[in-house]
């Protein structure tokens, strides 16, 4: 049970980070774009490094032991691209208007819109879209943490960072539609709870059938999800918030932090 509690807790904390974004929208006077740019770049750096250096490598090692060199590498690579395909399809099915990639800032709290019903619909659909988007991230975080706590902590931290602007994206329109900070915060927080729900599904469905082959495929699958999120979501958001070089600095810093963590704590 102790092996399960830590992955579940990490996934829960990562999901609840949407509440941090909501709180920032309520209490900060200005969006610290340089900080968000660096943070999103950092999150992308962690995800990209851990995906290629740790997860995909572990996937190949595990599957080669089961299937041999060529077949093992082939299954690992296939799992990697299947992970990309799944998260890409989820992203494609979300309407662009309610897409969680839509950037919003604290300054948006000072805008006025004559159509509160439209704003409420946008906020609710954004929360739903983010919830759907976060579900496979919860599975990924849980499975990574189940195998290796150090890797799980890194992924959970990276996911938490990128959940902050998603929290802003949910809370801003709902606040303006309802004038209720409580409702806006609640919807924002609920969208993040899809992550621990994904973890519970992984625990109930995947773990009873755990095997070296399944774990090898999961590692590749998770790596694909992480890489897709980094290139499709985190880096574009980082560039939209601020300067290109700050995003790149964050990206490199994330890789350095992840590399150091794996060496010191691995």
Q: Both tokens of residue 24?
A: 């920032």
pLDDT in the model for residue 220:
95
Q: How far apart are CA 256 and CA 208, in angstroms?
A: 36
Distances (CA, A) of 266 to 12, 59, 143, 144, 263: 23, 17, 17, 14, 5
Domain ranges of the chain: 2-265
Question: What is the DSSP code string of 36-81?
Answer: HHHHHHHHHHHHHHIIIIIIHHHHHHHHHHHH-HHHHHHHHHHHHH
pLDDT in the model for residue 180:
85
Does this model's pTM top 0.75? Answer: yes
> Tens place of pLDDT for every residue, the chain, 266 residues?
457 899 999 999 999 998 888 887 777 666 667 877 888 888 899 999 999 998 999 999 999 999 999 999 999 999 999 999 998 988 887 755 545 455 555 455 455 554 566 667 767 777 887 888 788 889 888 988 888 888 888 889 888 887 888 888 788 778 777 878 888 888 888 889 999 999 999 999 888 888 999 999 999 999 999 999 899 888 887 877 667 889 999 999 999 988 888 788 76
pLDDT in the model for residue 121:
73
Q: Alpha helices of 101-243 — where are they, by DSSP H? A: 116-147, 149-178, 181-192, 194-201, 212-229, 235-241
């Amino acid at each position: 049970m102790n092996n399960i509690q830590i992955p579940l807790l990490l996934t829960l904390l990562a999901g609840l980070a949407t509440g941090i974004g909501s709180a920032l929208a309520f209490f900060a006077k200005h969006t610290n774009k340089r900080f968000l740019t660096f943070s999103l770049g950092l999150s992308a750096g962690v995800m990209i490094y851990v995906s290629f250096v740790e997860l995909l490598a572990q996937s190949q090692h595990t599957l080669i032991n089961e299937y041999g060199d060529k077949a093992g590498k082939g299954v690992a690579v296939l799992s990697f691209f299947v992970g990309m395909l799944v998260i890409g399809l989820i992203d494609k099915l979300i309407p662009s208007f309610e897409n969680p990639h839509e950037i919003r800032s604290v300054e948006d709290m000072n805008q006025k819109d004559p159509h509160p019903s439209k704003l409420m619909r946008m906020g609710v659909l954004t929360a739903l879209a983010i919830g759907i988007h976060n579900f496979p991230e919860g599975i990924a975080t849980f499975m990574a943490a189940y195998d290796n706590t150090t890797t799980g902590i890194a992924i959970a931290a990276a996911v938490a960072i990128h959940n902050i602007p998603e929290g802003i994206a949910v809370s801003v329109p709902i606040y303006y539609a309802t004038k209720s900070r409580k409702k806006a915060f609640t919807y924002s927080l609920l969208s993040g709870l899809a992550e621990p729900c994904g973890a519970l599904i992984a625990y109930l469905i995947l773990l009873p059938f755990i095997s070296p082959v399944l774990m090898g495929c999961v590692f590749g699958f998770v790596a694909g999800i992480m890489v897709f999120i980094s290139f499709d979501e985190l880096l574009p958001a980082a560039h939209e918030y601020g300067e290109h070089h700050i995003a790149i600095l964050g990206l490199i810093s994330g890789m350095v932090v992840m590399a150091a963590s794996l060496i010191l704590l691995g």
